[in-house]
Amino acid sequence: MKKLHWFNVSSIGKPLKLFVTFALILTVLFITYFTYLKPKPSPTKVPFQHRIFDEYKHMSHQETPFKGAKIVHLDLKGAPPKISYYKTLFSLLSKFGATGVLIEYEDMFPYNSPLLKNVSALNAYTVEDIHYINKLALENKLEVIPLLQTFGHLEFLLKLEEFSELREVPEYPQVICPTHEKTLSVLMEMIDQVLQMHPHSKIIHIGADEVYYLGFCDRCANIMNKFNLSKNMLFLEHINAITTRIRKKHPHLRILMWDDEFRSFSVKELKSGFLDKGVQPVVWKYSKDVYEELGPSLWEMYSEVFPKVWIASAFKGATGSNQYVSDVTHYVQNHRSWLSLMSEYSHRITFEGIIITGWQRYDHFAVLCELLPVSLPSLAMSLRVIRGYQDSPLSPPTEVAKLLGCEQPYALIGPVFGSPKCSYTGGDILEGALKLQQLKQEYETILEDSRVKGWMSDYNKNHQFSNPQHVQSVTAPLNRIKGELMQLDGEMTAAMYEVYDNYTVSEWRETYIKPFEREVRAMVDARDKILAKNYWPRRPLLQDGDEL
């Protein structure tokens, strides 16, 4: 088949030729106008940041807001803030539009009975601290929902020798054995103590996510065999035992639990009568497209079984176990996708509330992920989405910057306008984390450079045998990076002490600053050794002890 070329004029008719010529003339006129003739805007003396704020002020608009409870998860299994920080924190949460907090104490709760006295961390909050948290929550109109794990993720309890006999798998301190004779009494004692400290709470969350080892031990296997129970039924049986006991003592309480174990259930199993009808599942998903990942069959099933459900999104701690800066775009997208899912199913399911999770570790043993003050812009943005605002990267939400006292809009666009310089307590921690990210990126760029790969390999370093020109040029920024890193260490330490105790400050430095510092130092040393050479031996290069 003959190919027609677009400017092959001989192949087109006369009217079309005229049209093409006319279009070309118009295009030339258009370009001339916009290049030379269009009036230029007069230069303005308004500071840059204000221009950005004003320009986009009217671009945020409101969609249908979510009407249910908006609960922020405080994960205290890592980096528990000093009690003095709660005043700042709760006031901000309230201004962001949160209606409550889900407090996951883990080992930060002051367990006080002889049985449980070793469960608390050595730096756990005191009874007075918790009274103060309750008081501040009340003042800021935030309802408090305590969370206590009752099945999986009981590492903080089962890691201890005295509770090791309760492990489902002896080597792994994650899951408690539901059929051990002491299990229920230990769990109920913990629940009672937590509820006693929260007399005004109307809801309790009993966790129960990621129960990886169910029905593994001989005791459970025997019981499953004897009563002809599936693993799913064993799971429900344990949850039922807990909820029945809670209801007996606290009939007014609503009980929430994570939903993930239910996802592999059938409607028949969920309706078998084993599950407390009052339990409300919290359907959690932290990805950008929750609809795609959870799938419609899950909602079909839940709409048949649960008249009311909660959902859980995330504002931090869900994109990598060692992230130290939040990917705000990811979290905002997560919330947008939840909003559209809820609007699709709202005629069949009542969505009671959203829990905006902020994981501080992936589990009790994992490193710290994004610190709370680093992720406050992400939280503020997430709550804006839930409240119906549709911000885009082109419309930095000036309200968030104003609430957090930031000089530059930051959240959605990252630090493209320079560092945000926010004045809220903990704003300097955000500043430090962003600086560390920038230094690490600069260092990674050096490592990726072909001059490092080709002339600073382990072989080059071991033999101090390399091309000094390439080594010198590629490592030129190293001294500055090393200096800035040392300065950052000092600044970050000071900033963190405003919010955290010395244990958290040391842990964060040991996790994120010190290994990087060691790496940069080793690179500087290797560079210096290579550059100290002025003469080089004949090949082959020999190791100590080698003979030709």
Residue 154 contacts by C-beta under 8 Å, 6 or more apart in sequence? Answer: 173, 174, 175, 176
CB of 171: closest distance to Zn ion in angstroms? 14
CB of 434: closest distance to Zn ion in angstroms? 47
CB of 173: closest distance to Zn ion in angstroms? 14
- Footprint on residues 147-176 left by Zn ion (CB under 5 A): 168
Question: In 10 A of CB 243, how many CB atoms?
Answer: 21
112 DSSP 8-state letter: -
Q: Which long-range contacts (CB under 8 A, 24 or more apart) does 519-523 make?
A: 519/443, 520/443, 520/478, 520/481, 520/482, 520/485, 521/482, 523/446, 523/475, 523/478
- Assess 217 for contact with Zn ion (CB under 5 A): yes
Q: Pick from 69, 157, 177, 485: which binds Zn ion (CB under 5 A)?
A: 177
> Nearer Cβ to Zn ion, position 211 or 404?
211
> Nearer Cβ to Zn ion, position 179 or 360?
179
- Footprint on residues 238-297 left by Zn ion (CB under 5 A): none
d(CA 108, CA 98): 23
> Nearer Cβ to Zn ion, position 107 or 261?
261
CB of 219: closest distance to Zn ion in angstroms? 5
Indicate which residue of 63, 104, 128, 210 is catalytic.
210
CB of 183: closest distance to Zn ion in angstroms? 9
How far, CA to CA in Å, does 142 sit from each of 94, 272, 369, 445?
A: 7, 36, 25, 45
- Assess 339 for contact with Zn ion (CB under 5 A): no
> Nearer Cβ to Zn ion, position 184 or 486?
184
How many binding residues for Zn ion (CB under 5 A)?
A: 6
> Nearer Cβ to Zn ion, position 177 or 372?
177
> Nearer Cβ to Zn ion, position 120 or 179?
179
d(CA 242, CA 246): 6
407: annotated active-site residue: no
Q: Pick from 142, 145, 220, 430: which binds Zn ion (CB under 5 A)?
A: 220
Sign of the torsion angle spanned by Cα atoms 501, 504, 507, 508? negative
Task: Considering only the C-alpha atoms of the chain, give the largest distance between any 2 of them, rounded to a whole number of Å.
Answer: 99
Question: What type of residue is 312?
Answer: A
CB of 213: closest distance to Zn ion in angstroms? 8
Q: What's the per-residue H, E or C state across 182-216?
A: CHHHHHHHHHHHHHHCCCCCCEEECCCCCCCCCCC
Is 223 exposed, middle or buried (CB count within 10 Å of its CB: 0-12, 13-18, 19+)? middle
- Assess 385 for contact with Zn ion (CB under 5 A): no
> What residues act catalytically?
210
Applying CB under 5 A, the residues found at the interface with Zn ion are 168, 177, 179, 217, 219-220
